[in-house]
Each structure stands twice: as C-alpha cells, then as structure tokens.
Structure 1
Amino acid sequence: MSRLKARFDQLKAEGRAGFIPFVMAGDPSYDASLDLIRRLPEAGADIIEMGVPFTDPMADGVAIQLAGQRALKAGQTLAKTLAMAKSFREQDDETPLVLMGYYNPFYAYGVERFLDDAAAAGIDGLIIVDLPPEEDAELCLPARAKGLDFVRLATPTTDDERLPSVMKNTSGFVYYVSVAGVTGGATGENVAVSTAVERLQAASNLPVAVGFGVKTEERAAEVARSADAVVVGSALVDALAQALPQGEAAATNETLSLAKRLSRAIKTARQ
C-alpha cells in the first residue's frame, strides 16, 4: 500500500480532513528548508507538498513566485530537492511527500532518471501543473509504472465533458483548485466547494484535497468540513517571508507556528 493510500485511509478512520502544507523546496536556503520540512509532521502535517522552484511559475501568485525566486537564488535545483526528500526519509518513513512543479525541470533532468531517483528518494506523488491528460505518456504513465502517484488538478471550469479524461489516470488524490485563478486568491464559496468535492469523489473514487487561497484558520476549518484534505501554501510562504528579516530560524519558527494553528483548525473542524 502506498503512503498516500495509507494516510487517507487513516484520515477516514479518524473522521477528519488532512492538513497538506505546501513549502517551496530551498526557500530561503537548503538547510533552513530541510529543517522546516523535517519539523512539519510534528506541527500537524499529514502530507507534505514540496514545490520545485521554476523560473516561469504561471499558475502561482506573488507569494509563491517570490519563494521560488529566493530558492533559485539560493541555488536550489531538482537534484537538491530530491536530496532533501532523501534526507527527510532518514527520519520519517511514514509522511507522504508530493512534488509540485512545472514540467520543464523534470524534462531537463530526464524523465527515466528522475523517476528512478524520485522513487529512491522516497517521493510518493507528483503534481505537474502544466501537463494535461493529452500528454500522459510524457510523465504520468511512466510515473505510475514506477509506483509514484500522479495527482491531477481539477478546477471550477472542468466540465462534465472534460472530467473523465482528467480523472482517467489520476491516482493518490484529486487536487481541487477552488477558484479559477492563481495561488493565493480567494477560495470558492462553501456550497460550491462542497458540491465540487462530492462530484470529484464520485467521478474518481479518490480522496479530494482542496487548495488555492486557504489563508486563515477559519477558512481552513470551513473547507475541512467537506474536503478530504486541505492544502495551504501561500499563507505559510507569506509567514516565512515576513519573518525572514529576523533570520532563517525565526522564519522557520513562525511558519511552524502558523502550521500548528491551521492543523488544529482542520483536525477539529468536524467535532
């Protein structure tokens, strides 16, 4: 059983939604980022989404764009991101790790080489923002053949005609982008999110994580009442950035403090 399947089975048994923090690998430095990722499970992370920095992050808002720029400036690469995952696995063999990014770095690395190295590093799944279902042969199908889940994005504009092709080779979970826009925007209305979650669960038979624009504890709790998991990215990245003038340790601690509060809100939302 994959780590993702095991974790979502656990969440279902506990009757709660999962907390999925997004962090940009290498932001603000390799060592600080690794320390943050290692400490996220004790802050309540059920699954960790690691961003792969890229020079043209078209689906991301300002906060995550700047995080990617800081990481690239610090020398972060896909190879270093895999090394970070491998170091994480030395201390934690249970928390699922999902890489989120754009196809260019993976293509440049070499797909077969990347998949072998990702599996060896303990990566559990991939979210590739700019690879549509029509290009499944590029990475999705080879990834699944290597035992890595391929998480697909669905949006409010994914209509009934498009949905079957989007869900066809999806595995692990479905990531519902609750608004038509970039990361960091406002989330959709509660009724719309709940209806979308039910629709995607029925279409895929997979858990549904909801993200984009979940910034507060109150909003995280609202989403957690219907979603199988809640993804929080920009809020955490913002917290890190705002504390950076005080030093990397302060930035890590501020990010972990917010993660704990969000985790608590998500885990108690259905009580």
Structure 2
Amino acid sequence: MTRISTRFADLAAEGRPGLVTFITAGDPDGKTSLAILKALPGAGADVIEVGVPFTDPMADGPAIQAAGLRALKAGQTLEKTLQLVRDFRAGDDATPIVLMGYFNPVYVYGVERFLADARGAGVDGLIVVDLPPEEDDELCLPALKAGLDFIRLATPTTDDNRLPAVLKHTAGFVYYVSITGITGSATPDADLVSAAVARIKGHTTLPVAVGFGVKTPAQAAAIAAGADAVVVGSALVEAVRTSLDETGAATPRTLSDVETLVRGLSEAVRGVPRRA
C-alpha cells in the first residue's frame, strides 16, 4: 500500500470524495512555496500534486504557465523541488505527494538518479503528461519498480479501444481530464464527467480523480459527485498570482488566500456523498 492507495482507501471508508490540490514548486519563491505546501493538508487537501516547473508545458494553460515561469525566474530546479518534498515530509508523513510535469527535466536529471532521489524525498507518485503508454520503458516501468505510482491521464477522446493501453500500468489513481484542451481553459460539464468516470470504471478498479477547469467550490462539488476525487490547480496558482505585490513578490496575503480557497473547496467536496 502506497500513501496514495491508503488515502483513497480512507476516503472510501469515510464515504466521501477527495480533494486533490495542485501547486507549482517554487512559486513565487522557495520559502513561500514550502509554507503553502505545509498548509494544504490542514486546509483540507487529501492529496497534493506538486508541479515541476518547465519552460514548455504543453498541457498547461496561462495560469500554470505563468506560475512555472515565476518559479524558474526565482531559481527553482528539479533538485530544489525534491528538497521541497523532503522539507514537507519532515512534518507530514501521511499526505500523498505526486510530482506532475514533463519528461525533459527527468531525462536531464537522469531517470535512475531521479527515481532514487524522488523515492528518498518522500514522493509517492508521478504524472508525466508527455510520455504515452508506448514509452512505458522510459519511466513508467522503472518508476513502478522503484515503488512509485505512475498515474495516467485519460481524456474525453480516450475511447474504449485506447483505455486498456492507458490503464495497463497505471497505479494510484486515474486522472481524468474533464475537458479537451489545456488546464483552466473551460468549465467541465458535471453530467458528462460523471458518465465518463463510470465508463472508465468499467475498465479499472482504481479511483478516478477529475481535473482541468475546476475553479470554484460549487464546481468542485458538482464534479466530485461523480468521481472519487476532484483536482483543482489553476485556481490555486491564480490565488498566488493575485496576492503578489507589484514586483511579483509574496505578500502576507499569499498564504492566507490559498488557505482560504482550499478550505472552501474542501468544505464543498466533503459535503458530497461519495459516488457508488
């Protein structure tokens, strides 16, 4: 049992869907990013995705792209992202941490070295959006062997013929992309999402978390009603952005604005009975 599978088992026992929150590592600076990360579980996050900043994030919308550029400008690296997780683990050994990003930084770091360091830092799973199942030998299979869950994305265009390949080596949970397009670009239709989740569950026993485009507590509750968890990312990085001063530096509002938003999202999601 990984932290991810343990957490989803706990959610099932509690009879409620979960809240997965996304932040960009190092946004707007290392110290503030760590403070936000440490505050997320207390505000109601059940699972945390930590975005690895990258210069060409093809699946991400303007909000997360901007967050990545802020982090890179502040000097964030993959090494510093792993240290961020280590520092978080010093005070929290239960909350699952998933690194989300692209293969290039991992390739440059070195796959074997990265997996050993990620595991040692306390990372539980990986989402690498630009590695399809046909490239499982590159990272997915080595990650599974190293004890890390490899989480795949399914989309509205992933049909029943493609799903078996997508799900074959998926572990932890399935991430359903609720819209066609980039993160934060549209609002998902809760009924369509619920039907898609049910279809995916016909192929797997893994939990299904739904993300892309969920911004408000009301939207989170509507999506959570048809899923095992809801993922919120762009809204959180936007909360960071709008709290910054004119120079782009953190202010006393930065941490509190993110905490307030996560509490509202958590309260909304926790009020939804878990889907059958």
TM range (shorter): over 0.9
User: Is contact 2:32-2:250 (8 Å) kept?
Assistant: no
Residue-pair matches, total: 271
Tell me what 1:125 maps to. 125
Rounded Cα–Cα distance in structure 2 between residues aligned with 1:151 and 1:169: 9
Tell me what 1:264 maps to. 267
Tell me what 2:134 maps to. 134
The amino acid of 1:87's aligned partner reads D
User: Is contact 1:100-1:126 (8 Å) kept?
Assistant: yes
User: Is contact 1:17-1:267 (8 Å) kept?
Assistant: yes
Per the normalisation by structure 2, the TM-score is: 0.96
Cα offset, 1:250, TM superposition: 1.4
Structure 1 residue 248 and structure 2 residue 256: aligned? no
User: Is contact 1:32-1:249 (8 Å) kept?
Assistant: no
Rounded Cα–Cα distance in structure 2 between residues aligned with 1:248 and 1:72: 19
Rounded Cα–Cα distance in structure 2 between residues aligned with 1:190 and 1:254: 26
SS of the residue corresponding to residue 244 of structure 2 reads helix
Tell me what 2:165 maps to. 165
SS of the residue corresponding to residue 88 of structure 1 reads helix
SS of the residue corresponding to residue 262 of structure 1 reads helix
User: Is contact 2:244-2:251 (8 Å) kept?
Assistant: yes
Rounded Cα–Cα distance in structure 2 between residues aligned with 1:187 and 1:13: 30
Q: Give the share of equivalent positions with the same residue, in percent.
A: 60
Rounded Cα–Cα distance in structure 1 between residues aligned with 2:199 and 2:112: 34
Structure 2: gaps spanning 5 or more residues? none
Rounded Cα–Cα distance in structure 2 between residues aligned with 1:74 and 1:200: 40
Rounded Cα–Cα distance in structure 2 between residues aligned with 1:32 and 1:118: 21
Tell me what 1:156 maps to. 156
Cα offset, 1:98, TM superposition: 0.1
Cα offset, 1:229, TM superposition: 0.5
Tell me what 1:101 maps to. 101
Rounded Cα–Cα distance in structure 2 between residues aligned with 1:108 and 1:151: 21
**Displacement over 6 Å in runs of 4+:** none
User: Is contact 2:187-2:214 (8 Å) kept?
Assistant: yes
Structure 1: gaps spanning 5 or more residues? none
SS of the residue corresponding to residue 203 of structure 1 reads coil
Cα offset, 1:8, TM superposition: 0.2
Tell me what 2:27 maps to. 27
Structure 1 residue 61 and structure 2 residue 61: aligned? yes
User: Is contact 1:28-1:248 (8 Å) kept?
Assistant: no
CA deviations 1:2-53 (Å, max 9, x no partner) are: 1001000000011111011100000000010001001100000100000000
CA deviations 1:71-92 (Å, max 9, x no partner) are: 0000000000000001100000
Cα offset, 1:222, TM superposition: 0.3
Rounded Cα–Cα distance in structure 2 between residues aligned with 1:238 and 1:37: 15
Rounded Cα–Cα distance in structure 1 between residues aligned with 2:251 and 2:27: 10
RMSD: 1.0
SS of the residue corresponding to residue 185 of structure 2 reads coil
Rounded Cα–Cα distance in structure 2 between residues aligned with 1:229 and 1:206: 12
Rounded Cα–Cα distance in structure 2 between residues aligned with 1:249 and 1:114: 34
Rounded Cα–Cα distance in structure 2 between residues aligned with 1:120 and 1:7: 20
Rounded Cα–Cα distance in structure 2 between residues aligned with 1:34 and 1:249: 15
CA deviations 1:234-254 (Å, max 9, x no partner) are: 011111100112833311110
Tell me what 1:17 maps to. 17
Rounded Cα–Cα distance in structure 2 between residues aligned with 1:125 and 1:171: 8
Per the normalisation by structure 1, the TM-score is: 0.98
The amino acid of 1:42's aligned partner reads G
User: Is contact 1:32-1:248 (8 Å) kept?
Assistant: no
